């Protein structure tokens, strides 16, 4: 497996289709549309040689794109599994670039809905239209590729509605190969991620070439290995970015979980908290819920304000505009006035 750039971000104005000059625009929205379309369909995208798939000729696959993901400033990225011939051609520099076939303003064949853009196929080529696209890679560390694929999947699923902190941590623990009880020790998870960041900050692994040859062939092979290592290093930087995203996502989910738990705790003792006290206890409830619970349990209940209670009772007594005006002009106590009216109305009702 290898990570490759499918399409960089940019605008290319010199494209011609059926004799008509058009522009090719690849934005972050286009990338997102391609990723969403790929994820909603159970079909891998083929990579052929020189767009044989589009030409309608027999088109054996050079490889298969097994995952698409948003590479940020690198545009549309993919994980690809090459077949033996293609891998060897890439290693020997017979093919250096990828050319994507993007379909704009399409219709989803399953839902019938409009699709901004999707990736139809891609091809190995030496004359790419998208100037600036990176060279393809034959292979990078299997461990790094597997980690990146799984990380992207976890990040995407964690952004969906209904995902809980427990679900996210469970998947992350499985990805990192930790024991299930690591969920009780968040620091061990962060330490493992830090270790991955350190591993992936260095150069990528490349397969050593075997075989015999003269001195010239050995030098060429070594140059090819160096170039492949550099490309693998670039790919691993994408993995490193994924790890950093994971770290940020964990921190965000942890804070959201702390906030939900804190609000739930304070709600249990709402009869003991004034608005000011609740605000003061929020920070403690998030960082040290055990201590907050101990203190809250010992607090007395908040006594209701008698004037507020009285007002609730007396609010049912309707006042005329004239009475409201009298209260304002004579600076009377509104609650007292309403209470007196309530007593008067009771008397009148009793005298019937």
**pLDDT tens, 82-110?**
999 999 999 999 999 999 999 999 999 88
CA torsion 128-133-139-142 (nearest 10°) is -140
- % of the chain at pLDDT higher than 90: 24
Q: Which of 109-118, 195-204, 278-287 has the lowest mean pLDDT?
A: 195-204
User: Does 138 have pLDDT greater than 70?
Assistant: yes
User: Does 15 have pLDDT greater than 90?
Assistant: no
Per DSSP, what are the bridge partners of residue 82?
63
User: Does 180 have pLDDT greater than 70?
Assistant: yes
CA 136 to chain centre: 26
Look at residue 326 in the predicted model and tell me its pLDDT.
82
CA Rg value for the chain: 33
CB burial string 250-289: b at 16+ within 10 A, e below: beebeeebeeeebeebbeebeebbeeeebeebbebbbeeb
Q: How confident is the model at residue 16 (pLDDT cuts 50, 70, 90)?
A: low
Domain extents for the chain? 2-125, 142-207+228-260, 269-303, 306-351
In the predicted model, what is the mean pLDDT of residues 102-129?
Answer: 92
User: Does 314 have pLDDT greater than 50?
Assistant: no
Average model confidence (pLDDT) across the chain? 75
In the predicted model, what is the mean pLDDT of residues 183-210?
Answer: 56
**pLDDT tens, 205-244?**
433 333 344 444 444 444 444 444 444 444 444 555 555 6
User: Does 135 have pLDDT greater than 60?
Assistant: yes
On whether the pTM is more than 0.85, the answer is: no
In the predicted model, what is the mean pLDDT of residues 32-59?
Answer: 88
């Amino acid at each position: 497996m290898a990570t490759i750039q499918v399409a960089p971000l940019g605008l290319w104005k010199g494209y011609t289709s059926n004799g008509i000059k058009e522009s090719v625009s690849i934005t972050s929205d286009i990338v997102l549309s391609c990723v969403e379309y790929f994820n909603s369909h159970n079909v891998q995208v083929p990579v052929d040689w020189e767009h044989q798939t589009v030409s309608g000729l027999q088109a054996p696959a050079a490889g298969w794109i097994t995952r698409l993901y948003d590479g940020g400033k690198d545009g549309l990225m993919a994980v690809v599994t090459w077949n033996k011939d293609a891998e060897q051609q890439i290693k020997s520099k017979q093919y250096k670039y990828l050319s994507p076939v993007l379909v704009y303003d399409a219709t989803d064949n399953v839902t019938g809905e409009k699709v901004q853009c999707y990736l139809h196929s891609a091809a190995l080529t030496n004359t790419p239209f998208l100037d600036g696209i990176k060279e393809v890679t034959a292979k990078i560390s299997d461990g790094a590729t597997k980690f990146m694929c799984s990380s992207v999947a976890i990040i995407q699923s964690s952004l969906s509605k209904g995902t809980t902190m427990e679900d996210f941590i469970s998947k992350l623990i499985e990805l990192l190969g930790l024991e299930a009880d690591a969920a009780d020790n968040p620091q061990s998870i962060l330490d493992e991620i830090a270790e991955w960041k350190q591993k992936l900050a260095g150069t990528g692994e490349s397969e050593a070439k075997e075989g015999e040859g003269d001195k010239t062939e050995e030098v060429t092979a070594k140059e090819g290995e160096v170039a492949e290592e550099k490309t693998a290093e670039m790919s691993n930087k994408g993995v490193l970015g994924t790890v950093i995203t994971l770290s940020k996502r964990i921190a965000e989910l942890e804070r959201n979980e702390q906030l939900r738990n804190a609000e739930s705790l304070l709600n249990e003792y709402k009869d003991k908290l004034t608005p000011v006290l609740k605000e003061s206890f929020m920070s403690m409830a998030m960082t040290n819920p055990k201590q907050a619970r101990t203190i809250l349990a010992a607090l007395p209940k908040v006594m209701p304000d008698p004037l507020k209670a009285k007002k609730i009772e007396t609010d049912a007594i309707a006042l005329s505009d004239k009475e409201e005006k009298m209260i304002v002009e004579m600076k009377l106590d509104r609650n007292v006035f309403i209470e007196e009216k309530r007593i008067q109305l009771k008397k009148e009702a009793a005298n019937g």
